[in-house]
């Protein structure tokens, strides 16, 4: 689906189990790459994504990373590497436009309702937990708060989830799901739920295309999330 546009052409792929695709070559390692391109797009695992980006940013590619579970240290290191090589790197926890809007709405709600918890559900093959989207949501909520939450404080009880920036986050892994997240706010006498669902991976394509088209125009060497493009 990424290739089915007038202004985007996929010229190659990277996979250790290399085999020729119908329309472009698949390389087994970075040593084998013999094509040039404007943008490198990565969907792997955190360790591989950082290694791949270290290659792409030093070989003339602006880079879009959709790999979940990368750390702040990864962000900082790749941002510095991009700046040193006059490149741009964009790291996106979730390419679904609805997921980006959900995080924006949650941040707005947190100004008025500081007590919130996040529940995310992903397919059973997703390794990292909580998801990058859930982490980013929790961080956005905490940053936007204008008052302290009144709910019980952080606890080691496993049933209370992982606490990220003073927001409990709960992760489920189940067959039949692609990606789903709900942010639940509570206040005296009322509650608010903000939910996003990706029914299939086509939900990510509009955001991927947007990032590929715009990454080179971003003002900073490192950009995290699609927010700046919406």
Match 């409990």 to its residue by tokens.
168
| Marked catalytic residue, from 88, 122, 170, 214 | 122
SS3 assignment for 95-114 = CCHHHHHHHHHHHHHHCCCC
Pull the structure tokens for residue 207: 């955001």
148 is catalytic: no
Query: What's the pTM?
Result: 0.81
d(CA 104, CA 183): 11
d(CA 212, CA 90): 9
| Marked catalytic residue, from 126, 143, 153, 214 | 126
Task: Tell me the pLDDT tens digit for each residue of 37-95.
Answer: 999 999 988 889 999 999 999 999 999 999 888 888 999 999 999 999 999 999 998 89
Task: Tell me the pLDDT tens digit for each residue of 6-22.
Answer: 788 888 888 877 666 66
d(CA 143, CA 164): 12
Which domains are delineated in the chain?
Answer: 13-91+202-229 (3.40.50.720), 97-199 (3.30.360.10)
Match 């792409």 to its residue by tokens.
56
108 is catalytic: no
């Amino acid at each position: 689906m990424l290739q089915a546009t007038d202004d985007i052409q996929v010229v190659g792929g990277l996979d250790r189990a290399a085999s020729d695709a119908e329309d472009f070559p698949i390389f087994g390692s970075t040593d084998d790459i013999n094509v040039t391109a404007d943008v490198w797009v990565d969907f792997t695992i955190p360790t591989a994504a950082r290694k791949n980006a270290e290659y792409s940013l030093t070989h003339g590619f602006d880079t879009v990373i959709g790999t979940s579970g990368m750390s702040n240290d990864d962000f900082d290191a790749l941002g510095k590497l991009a700046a040193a090589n006059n490149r741009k790197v964009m790291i996106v926890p979730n390419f679904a436009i609805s997921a980006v809007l959900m995080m924006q709405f949650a941040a707005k709600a947190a100004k008025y309702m500081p007590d919130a918890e996040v529940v995310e559900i992903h397919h059973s093959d997703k390794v990292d937990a909580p998801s990058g989207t859930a982490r980013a949501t929790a961080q956005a909520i905490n940053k936007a708060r204008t008052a302290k939450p009144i709910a019980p404080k952080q606890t080691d009880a496993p049933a209370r989830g992982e606490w990220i920036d003073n927001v409990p986050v709960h992760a489920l892994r189940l067959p039949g799901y692609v990606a789903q997240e709900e942010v639940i706010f509570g206040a005296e006498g009322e509650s608010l739920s903000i939910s996003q669902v990706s029914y299939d991976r086509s939900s990510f394509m509009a955001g991927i295309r947007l990032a590929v088209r715009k990454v080179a125009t971003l003002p900073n060497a490192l950009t995290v999330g699609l927010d700046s493009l919406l």
